[in-house]
Structure formats: C-alpha cells, structure tokens
Amino acid sequence: MKISHSLFLASFIFLILFACSPDEEPLFQEKYTSEDLHKLHGTDLKDWRIEAFYDNYNQKVLSAKNACFSDDIFVFQKGTNEIQVVSGEISCSDIDPEDEITTASYQFYEQEGLIFISISKASLVNGVIKNNFFSLQLVELSNSKMIFASGEKGDYGMSLVFVAS
C-alpha cells in the first residue's frame, strides 16, 4: 500500500512539473518591432495589393468578396497609420465602383508587438448606407508579402494576403 501511495505521489508530481509547460507556443507567430514597420511602408510609401481574401485560410476557401478586394491598391505611408486605398474596377455591391468608398488603417501596439489592420467598405444602396468593417491581426510579414488573419496560429479563418506591387 505504501509503495502504491508513493508511486501515485511521484506520478502526480511528475505530471505537475511536466504536463503544463510555460513554453507554450504563442497564438500568433511573431512579435513585431518598430523596425518591422519599414517593411510595410518602405522608405516613404509602398503599394500593396490583395492577392487573396479568404473566408478560411487553412482550407483555402476564397471569400465571395475576393474579386472586389483584390483589384484595390493599398498604399502604406511612413509617418501615418492611415492607408490610402485606390479602388479598382470591381465593386463589392451591385453599384458603380465609384460610389463605393474604402478606408483602411493599421494600429501598431509596440509593447505587445502586435499590428492590426482595419478596413471599411461603404456604399450607398437605394438611399441606405451599407458598411462592411473588419479588423485582422498581422501574422506574417516580409518585404514582399504580408498576411493579416483571424484565428489562432495554424488555424486561421478570415485572412487577407497582400503582395507588394
């Protein structure tokens, strides 16, 4: 009985020490620094276009709005978090693309090392303003590609894949 009690106690201590690792992977892969912002806007400004807009990145399910987002150009400029959006020829609503307004900005939370993008597409349809707004976290960044996504590392849902123009 004493041996089984000791064995149980030793097993319990082993589980406590090794089952819960403080080195768990973070939800997102990277922590970004102010130096990384240079990849967003280059030396002054940098054009990006959306290569793909996914409803589910892991399963590569494109959004129904992929076409209307992927023909826009997003201009990131040094010194401001506002992103200039040059609208393309395809509207996200059944209206003239000129009657649709897209605004975007990013927020850098230096202490946490996080960057978020917020995008809004607004249009006037039958006298009613229709606005689609979302915000996504930067999960991948290089000089030529960046991915903003929702979800956890390895299980991204809604995602925007940008490529440098």
Rounded to an integer, what is the distance from CA 59 to the centroid of its chain? 16
For 50-110, the DSSP string reads EEEEEEETTTTEE-TTHHHHHT-EEEEETT-SEEEEE--S--SSSS-GGGEEEEEEEEEET
Distances (CA, A) of 152 to 27, 139, 157: 5, 9, 8
pTM of the model: 0.80
Reading the block at residue 71, the tokens are 């023909």
Residue 4 lies in a domain: no
Residue 19 lies in a domain: no
Residue 49 lies in a domain: yes
Task: Write out residues in the chain with pLDDT < 70, as ranges.
Answer: 1-29
Q: Which domain holds residue 38?
A: 27-164
pLDDT of residue 26: 46
pLDDT of residue 2: 52
Residue 14 lies in a domain: no
CATH for 87: 2.40.128
pLDDT of residue 148: 98
Structural domain count of the chain: 1
pLDDT of residue 111: 95
